[in-house]
Amino acid sequence: MSIKVPNKWDNIELRKFVHYCDYIGEEPETIEERFELIYKKACALLDVSLADAKKLTVKQQADIVKLAKKPMPMYLKVRFKHKGIRYRPIGSKHSIVDARELDGDRYSAIKALAKKGTSENLHQILYLVCEPIKYGFKKSFPFIGWNRVDMDASQVEQGIKDFKDLPMKVANPLIVFFLTLSKRLSVLLKDYSIQTLNGMTKEMQELQADLEKDMDGLQS
């Protein structure tokens, strides 16, 4: 197939990663189950059907397994552009991100979303910890720079939807950084932290070794 498997996490969309994480806890016991798990992860990461995932070549399947061992992006951007709009994390006005600068309304909104306890709200939380900005004149010194842009209800709704496609090179550092917001938020997002993926490394190495062994057996 002409499907290209990503060789790093950077540009994988948040929605695909959330879908992929649904299968992290599965523990295959047979060769068939191991292949089924690879197919399901391929469906999530490549946005393909199960039928198409089963058509992947041996190399493509191995690349899916290898991807899990790659480090997650950790560089927190003080500004980024997504879907034509520039954003900055809350509290990054001076090129230093400080989660303590969240105002009460936004903080309580984040905690309310976190209380729902579902990863489906992750893109909404990330939208709330960022703000749209534009470069121009300001009312105070320095008189030119980045200013917050007020969005109407429809623009906010669209922005939240757009954050489902936020690339992991932006999303993961935001997730890890804002884990410090509250214990409740930490519980909700812990499965998306770099520590969790690091803990998977040994398991995925064993799975890759078994896969290569299985493939050698099939070819011989």
Span 97-141, pLDDT tens digits: 555 555 666 666 766 666 665 567 889 888 988 989 998 887 766
pLDDT of residue 182: 47
pLDDT of residue 144: 81
Assign 146 a pLDDT band (cuts: 50, 70, 90). confident
Residue 94's Cβ-side half-sphere holds a number of Cα atoms within 13 Å equal to 4
Task: Note the helical H segments in 24-103.
Answer: 31-46, 50-53, 58-67
pLDDT of residue 191: 47
CA distance 178 to 189: 9
The lowest-confidence range among 35-44, 59-68, 96-105 is 96-105
Phi, psi values for residue 87, rounded to 5°? -130, 165
- pLDDT reading at 11 higher than 90: yes
Average pLDDT on 213-220 reads 54
CA distance 185 to 180: 8
Across-strand partners of 88?
Answer: 131
pLDDT of residue 90: 80
Assign 184 a pLDDT band (cuts: 50, 70, 90). very low
Q: Give the chain's mean pLDDT.
A: 78
**Distance in angstroms between the alpha carbons of the first and the last residue of the chain:** 23
Across-strand partners of 145?
Answer: 136
Q: Where are the domains of the chain?
A: 14-72+194-219, 80-192
- If one counts every other C-beta atom within 10 angstroms of the C-beta of residue 110, the result is 24
Assign 203 a pLDDT band (cuts: 50, 70, 90). low
What's the predicted TM-score (pTM) here? Answer: 0.72
On whether the CB atoms of residues 199 and 101 are closer than 8 A, the answer is: no
pLDDT of residue 188: 47
Which has the higher per-residue pLDDT, 13 or 113? 13
